[in-house]
């Protein structure tokens, strides 16, 4: 009977060791996932940088416009979208062909959104379709145009999120 008890204690001890090993494996897996996410983020940041080579020795770094944090007051999703488009900033570097392509995409879909201000889901689908079909990024104008499409798409998504947050806040205040 003592042999059975000793064997049982050994089994329990082995199970505890196995649990510790499993936990260590889980944490090492989490660390590797965290590192891969950080590497992907760094790659994305590098990909967001666009260079214009005006001469071999002087590449000009173009920073992609980002959505503004403060928009001010708006009542509809279209007003929010309009504010996001109007507050686009190209920074200090003015590379004409990139900015021209970016602005062309903004103008095209701003006009389209103005005509369909009640249903921006249609515009969202059109931008998404054009982004999926757009396959040339070799010229600076084309890169700017694609980034403009991406900016419009993000603006449409952000306008939806901001309007939902505003409505949610109003509902909470009335309750």
Give the residue from 78, 101, 81, 99 showing the smallest Cα distance to 90.
99
Q: How far apart are CA 102 and CA 146, in angstroms?
A: 7
Give the residue from 166, 125, 173 showing the smallest Cα distance to 149.
125
Cβ-in-10-Å burial (0-12, 13-18, 19+) of 105 comes to: buried
pLDDT digits over 2-37, tens only?
A: 555 557 667 667 777 776 666 667 667 667 767 776
Q: What is the structure's pLDDT at 53?
A: 47
pLDDT digits over 31-56, tens only?
A: 776 777 677 666 665 555 555 444 44
Q: What is the structure's pLDDT at 153?
A: 92
**Spans of all domains in the chain:** 1-48, 50-174
Give the residue from 44, 126, 54, 114 showing the smallest Cα distance to 85.
114
Quote the Cα angle for 59-91-65, to 5°: 95
pTM, two decimal places: 0.61
């Amino acid at each position: 009977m003592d042999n059975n008890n000793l064997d049982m204690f050994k089994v329990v001890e082995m199970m505890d060791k196995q649990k510790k090993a499993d936990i260590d494996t889980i944490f090492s897996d989490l660390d590797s996932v965290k590192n891969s996410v950080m590497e992907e983020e760094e790659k994305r940041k590098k990909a967001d940088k666009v260079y214009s080579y005006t001469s071999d020795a002087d590449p000009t770094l173009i920073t992609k416009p980002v959505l503004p944090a403060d928009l001010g007051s708006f009542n509809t999703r279209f007003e929010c979208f309009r504010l996001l488009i109007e507050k686009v900033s190209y920074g200090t570097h003015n590379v004409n062909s990139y900015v021209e392509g970016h602005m062309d995409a903004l103008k095209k879909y701003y006009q389209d959104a103005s005509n369909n201000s009640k249903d921006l889901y249609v515009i969202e689908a059109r931008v998404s379709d054009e982004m999926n079909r757009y396959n040339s990024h070799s010229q600076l104008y084309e890169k700017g145009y694609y980034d403009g499409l991406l900016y419009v798409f993000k603006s449409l998504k952000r306008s939806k999120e901001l309007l939902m947050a505003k409505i949610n806040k109003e509902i909470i205040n009335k309750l």
